[in-house]
Amino acid sequence: MSTLTRDQVVALRIRAQQLDREPVDRPPTDAAIFDLGVQETGRDGASWALVNRGVPLGSQDELYECPDVVLVWTLRGAPHFYRRAEIVDVLAATSPYSDGDAAKRLIGAATPLEQAGIGPREGLGVVARELRTVVDRPRAKGEVSTRLSERLDDAYLRDCRRCDASHVWELPFRYGALYAGLELVPGTSPPILRRIPGWPRRTAGPVADPSEAPEHLRPIRACLQFLGPLTQQQVAGFLDAAVADVKEHWPVDAIEVVVDGKRSSMLGDPDPADPARDLVRLLGPFDLLLQCRDRQLLVPDKARHKALWPSIGRPGAVLVGTDLVGTWRPRASGAKLNLRLELWDSVSKAVRARIEIEAERLAAHRGLALSGVTGESC
């Protein structure tokens, strides 16, 4: 059984996620992380994550206007981009394995359903069927929620003190949208939902057996592929899934390795990757590399976790080699962009110059000119 160091694990993730790729002419859907979905959260979301993986997107709008991708709510109820050609298979792959799994994903929304004798997966089907009827044309989320709430029984609703009304629970709404064949219009806030063109005739709701989905889209496998080595508990935490279902559907070809004295699992070659010492990236706040639940491995100094993963207003992270050396925040003013750094570790002049090059790429991606990179080591 192989034993891997922290640097080797991070290097494996960097290689699997293609963060070490240089930009060349390639379609947006070429990026491997589409298998798990590219999270679209915040101004520097999916498009910047793809740029950091060698996809030459000139702007966020290039991704939004690409006909080969689709934006939907999936894992953790967050919006993710996928390859449009695979979206029906994505629905299957991201469906809950059991009522227990669905209840774990729905959090509090599962309790009133179960009290009413409605299984969580059955409830998701009901929400999806009503959503399909309500969204007969592009509609804003608030309008959809209002119309949907009028069509559902009390078990599907919660009291909202802020507006003194009853609304459908948020997570069944979000998960139910894809089960209804609905996508999000990229760049809209509040989100606009519309029907996915060419959606097949099917019963609205999750599939009965997610394990029938193509292997590369199954989230458990994709987690191990892009974020491994991981434990079953860490995979369940990333997916908001039930640990029992993760254990039951654990890949038979997963390889055990030892990390920090503990057994973890991964897919593929367990031989350590060569750490990319000269790599410099400005990772967006919700970049996949930052999403794993083993934060102690990614950032060994726990005192830095609050700065990198605050409950509100996450910054981006500065990646140098296999180390996260600090955070960054953008400040836009007119046609200019300033990048504010907070570095935890000292960096060489060469690395500082590389950070400024990445900052210029970020500014250009936003259609702005870089006015400067400010900030000192903490």
For the stretch 248-299, pLDDT in tens is 999 999 999 999 888 999 998 877 667 677 899 999 999 999 999 899 999 9
Question: Once rounded to an integer, what is the mean pLDDT over residues 322-339?
Answer: 95
pTM of the model as a whole: 0.95
CA–CA separation, 102 vs 116, rounded Å? 16
- Average per-residue pLDDT in the chain? 94
Instruction: Give domain limits for the chain.
Output: 18-210, 280-374
What is the pLDDT at residue 166? Answer: 83
| Greater pLDDT, 163 or 363 | 363
What is the pLDDT at residue 377? Answer: 60
The closest alpha carbon to 170, from 195, 189, 142, 193, belongs to: 142
For the stretch 51-90, pLDDT in tens is 999 999 999 999 999 999 999 999 999 999 999 999 999 9
For the stretch 224-260, pLDDT in tens is 999 999 999 999 999 999 999 999 999 999 999 999 8
